[in-house]
Amino acid sequence: MTTEREAVAAGFDKWVSTLADWVAIPSVSADPARRPEVKASADFLAEALRRTGFPVVRVLESNSYLPAVYAHWPSGDPDAVRVVVYGHHDVQPADGEERWTHPPFSPQVIDDVMYGRGASDDKGNIAAHLLGLTAHLQASGRSAPAVDLTLLVEGEEESGSPHIGELLDELADQLTADAIVVSDTGIFNADTPSLCVGMRGLVSAELQVHGPDVDLHSGVFGGAVANPITELARLLAAMHDQDGHITIPRFYDGVIEPTDDERAVTAALPFDESKWISGPAASRAAWGEAGYSTLERIGIRPTAEINGIFGGYTGPGGKTIVPTDATAKLTFRLVGQQDPAAIRQAVSDFFAARVRDGLTVTLDWESDGVAPLYTDPTHPATAATQRALGAAFDTDTVLLTREGGSGPEADLVAAIGAPMVFLGVMTEEDQIHAPNEKAPLPLLRKGCEAVAHLWRELAAVGRDGLVADRG
Ligand SMILES: [Zn+2]
């Protein structure tokens, strides 16, 4: 009997050359001139999925979105766990040519590392589903996967997934699932497999305080009418207390406090805070909400951030005025089950209740915002994914992490209505979105293997096991 590992090893060299051929297609979604290449990349993936055995493969095209790939392989068992895999086949632009020592679209393998745009983000991680599935079939002796498998690989994620809603609507009937597997993320580092269980949401606004209708002489009027800049500063400062807690009533509704276990897991992550402060944070000290560690502040706590502030006279010299207006740009990162609409209302009410007579505040929200993605860390799908990664990395310890950023994942959960897990093997060293993007082949090999283990693990949990007792 072949094991998943043996099957991956047997097919790996051929898989690497398939990945290299795919990476050679410059599917840059941001560049309108590259549209034919985005289509060629979708066609390439579709063909590879057909060769792997998927009976249903379609390249989805429309006048709005760039070509996406849909594939389906039923398990043959009507009670099988249904899985939707999400990822993308478009890539970031490869500008800054002089900084690429390895050409972005002529992939090379040097010392067991593949260089090329998309080798990691996200072609390497999506291609893992090809060999991973083959290995699953060989190891299980099945002629169809043990789970009902659907793939949705979009072509404009690197451009902000502007049409993901349209794509999900169009496929609504075909995306029924008991679990969503996102393969577009990574692990803590090459020696520390981990599973992301949360991403923050986001709402953004411009806050304007309007005072007198004309700039006033600060000698003749100053002190007798409210100054909009002073008032804006007062309103903004009121959003936090001395300890960094957000004071907006109802703001923390839906925030989920970490359990002791979760806190212990976060505390155990190999995170070097002083390196982080002087390195990526380019700062002299860490600061944030009292009672939470730096990783907790990024992963599980919401923020009220001021991104910009302007108003009054900012030219050379001085100007003695009480200005008419003051403006700030604000963003709120959301976590847990915070609801963007409720947050927008809470923030509006907060400023409206505090503004002085004679001044008006307006809040312009940029959009409806993005909901946070919260995965129950105790969900059986999470545990199954931890086991699959653990089997590929030969460890019983697969850490759970939460990421501070925001993506289309919450849209997928809302549209499909199933728990989400993340299976990807990118690391911070891969230089994704930067020149000389790369992916170590040993990690990609583990990624392929983890896919093979995951289908076995999810099938073993069963559909009832994934939905039972979730109250
Ligand atoms: Zn990506």
Distance 123 CA to ligand 1 centre (A): 9
Distance 147 CA to ligand 1 centre (A): 25
Q: Report the C-alpha gap between 449 and 131 in whole angstroms.
A: 8
Judge whether residue 349 has pLDDT over 90: yes
Distance 210 CA to ligand 1 centre (A): 42
For residue 327, give Cα distances in angstroms to 152, 165, 177, 347, 365.
42, 32, 45, 15, 13
Distance 260 CA to ligand 1 centre (A): 32
Q: Which two tokens stand for residue 294?
A: 């730096």
- The predicted model gives 96-107 an average pLDDT of 91
| Cβ neighbours of residue 71 closer than 8 Å, sequence gap 6 or more | 46, 49, 54, 56, 57, 58, 149, 150, 151
Strand partners, 58: 70
By the CB criterion, residues less than 5 angstroms from ion ligand 1 are 121-122, 184
- The predicted model gives 363-385 an average pLDDT of 90
pLDDT at 468: 56
Distance 184 CA to ligand 1 centre (A): 5
Give percent of the chain with pLDDT exceeding 90. Answer: 83
pLDDT at 471: 43
Distance 435 CA to ligand 1 centre (A): 15
Q: Report the C-alpha gap between 403 and 384 in whole angstroms.
A: 20
Distance 100 CA to ligand 1 centre (A): 19
Burial class (CB in 10 A: 0-12, 13-18, 19+), 101: exposed
Distance 386 CA to ligand 1 centre (A): 21
Distance 202 CA to ligand 1 centre (A): 19
70 residue type, one letter? Y
pLDDT tens per residue, range 17-50: 999 999 999 999 999 999 999 999 999 999 999 9
| Lowest mean pLDDT segment, chosen from 23-37, 94-108, 202-216, 351-365 | 94-108
Judge whether residue 385 has pLDDT over 80: yes
pLDDT tens per residue, range 424-434: 999 888 988 88
The answer to whether 31 touches 122, Cβ cutoff 8 Å, is: no
Distance 89 CA to ligand 1 centre (A): 8
Distance 125 CA to ligand 1 centre (A): 9
Distance 145 CA to ligand 1 centre (A): 26
Report the chain's mean pLDDT, rounded to a whole number: 94
Judge whether residue 221 has pLDDT over 70: yes
Distance 192 CA to ligand 1 centre (A): 20
Q: Report the C-alpha gap between 107 and 312 in whole angstroms.
A: 53
| Cβ neighbours of residue 295 closer than 8 Å, sequence gap 6 or more | 266, 269, 271
The answer to whether 471 touches 26, Cβ cutoff 8 Å, is: no
Distance 447 CA to ligand 1 centre (A): 15
3 state SS of 70: strand
| Confidence bin at 469 (pLDDT 50/70/90) | low
